[in-house]
Each structure stands twice: as structure tokens, then as C-alpha cells.
Amino acid sequence: QKEVEQNSGPLSVPEGAIASLNCTYSDRGSQSFFWYRQYSGKSPELIMFIYSNGDKEDGRFTAQLNKASQYVSLLIRDSQPSDSATYLCAVMAYNNNDMRFGAGTRLTVKP
């Protein structure tokens, strides 16, 4: 069974703070890792992806991957109220045909 686990939250941070979102996965053969943002009633929107161990930065977002620990995280710096959403971790299998999502972490950024 290919599992992707996230803390459901809610995670609440004050505006300007760093939000840290975590994800673990069970399929050791997973190759690609994605973070999506989903506003209520909307479709998932790709924020960023990471394939290699280490950190990847894109603007206020940093993804971190540790394949040995089967762990991926997303840091959001200088959090804004507009960042309030559910953040979905997604993992793509080795065959690149099957992307599975975690249940998502609901983030609230308070002004």
C-alpha cells in the first residue's frame, strides 16, 4: 500500500512567521515529490517539486527531501494571510504513472 502521511492540522501561524509542513511516504521507490496548495472548493495548484535529496528554494517556499528517512517538508517564509489553504503533499511512484496524495495540512495565517 502506497501511503502518504501528513498532519491534518490545523496549523496556525502569525503573519510573517515561518510555516513548516511535513510529509512522510511509505514507497521507498518513489522518485518525485510535489507540494500543492488547495483553497476551499478549488483544484490543487502546484507550488513546487523536488527530486533530489536536500533543499530547493523558490521565492518564499523551500522544499526539503530526505529519501533515507522518507520525509519531505515545505517551509513557507514570511507567511501571509493569503497562504491560508490546505497544503497537499504528493508522491510519484518509480513508474511515473501513479501520483498519490496525502490528506493535506490545513494552514491558517493570522493577521
Partner 1 sequence: EPEVTQTPSHQVTQMGQEVILRCVPISNHLYFYWYRQILGQKVEFLVSFYNNEISEKSEIFDDQFSVERPDGSNFTLKIRSTKLEDSAMYFCASRTVRELFFGEGSRLTVL
- Please give the residue ranges that form the binding site for partner 1 (CB under 8 A): 32, 34, 38, 42-46, 49, 51, 88, 90, 92-93, 95-104
Q: How far is the CB of 77 from partner 1 (least distance, A)?
A: 23
Residues facing residue 98 across a β-bridge: none
Residue 55 CA to residue 93 CA, distance in Å, equals 20
Give the nearer residue to partner 1 in terms of CB position, either 82 or 95: 95
Q: How far is the CB of 34 from partner 1 (least distance, A)?
A: 7
Residue 32 CA to residue 13 CA, distance in Å, equals 28
> HSE of 79 in the Cβ direction (CA atoms, 13 Å)?
22
Q: How far is the CB of 16 from partner 1 (least distance, A)?
A: 30
Give the nearer residue to partner 1 in terms of CB position, either 52 or 111: 52
The phi and psi torsions of 60 (rounded to 5 degrees) equal -80, -5
